[in-house]
């Protein structure tokens, strides 16, 4: 189960890298489409911060300190830097999940990040759904902004 979860995170994060790379004009990545709240760039920063926090810091004890406000207020972070940060979070996820046991998946997630108590497995599935949700928003944003 742990290996399957790691593979799904990696697959979606590699797709996130492809989406970010597909913006030929970096400025377009930071535009907000009428009727939406966030740019693709800010959603990408949010995903990086979210996974570094809930998998890296909490499960992997990496020491990562999140600044959620910056995930939505920073602008014009270079694509290359964002892609490097995605690479780094893939490494953090792999290293963290390799250390988890099947028994730990059934234990309660160590921090009450959700409204209801969840097992670690349930919370990891929640994080995968969150990643996929925002990945879809980024894909939609890119297609609307670039007309492609």
Measured at the CA of 82, the angle between CA 81 and CA 84, to 5 degrees, comes to 65
| 54-84 pLDDT per residue, tens | 999 999 999 999 999 999 999 999 999 999 9
* Res. 20: pLDDT tops 80: yes
Domain that holds residue 50: 2-146
What's the CATH code of the domain at 90?
1.20.120.450
pLDDT band at 53 (very low <50, low <70, confident <90, very high): very high
* Res. 144: pLDDT tops 90: yes
First to last CA, the chain: 36
Q: Is 35 left (phi over 0), alpha (psi -120 to 50) or beta?
A: left
pLDDT band at 147 (very low <50, low <70, confident <90, very high): confident
| 86-134 pLDDT per residue, tens | 999 999 999 999 999 999 999 999 876 667 789 999 999 999 999 999 9
Q: Based on the structure, what is the number of domains in the chain?
A: 1
What pLDDT does residue 117 have? 85
What pLDDT does residue 113 have? 63
Answering whether pTM is above 0.85, one says yes
């Amino acid at each position: 189960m742990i290996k399957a979860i790691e593979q799904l995170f990696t697959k979606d994060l590699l797709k996130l890298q492809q989406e970010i790379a597909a913006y030929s004009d970096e400025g377009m990545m930071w535009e907000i489409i009428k009727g939406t709240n966030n740019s693709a760039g800010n959603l990408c920063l949010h995903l990086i911060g979210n996974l570094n926090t809930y998998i890296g810091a909490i499960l992997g004890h990496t020491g990562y300190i999140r600044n959620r406000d910056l995930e939505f207020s920073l602008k014009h972070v270079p694509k290359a830097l964002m892609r490097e940060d995605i690479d780094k979070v893939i490494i953090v996820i792999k290293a963290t999940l390799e250390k988890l046991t099947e028994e730990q998946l059934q234990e309660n997630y160590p921090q009450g990040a959700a409204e209801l108590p969840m097992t670690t497995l349930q919370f990891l599935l929640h994080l995968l759904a969150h990643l996929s949700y925002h990945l879809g928003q980024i894909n939609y944003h890119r297609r609307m902004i670039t007309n492609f």
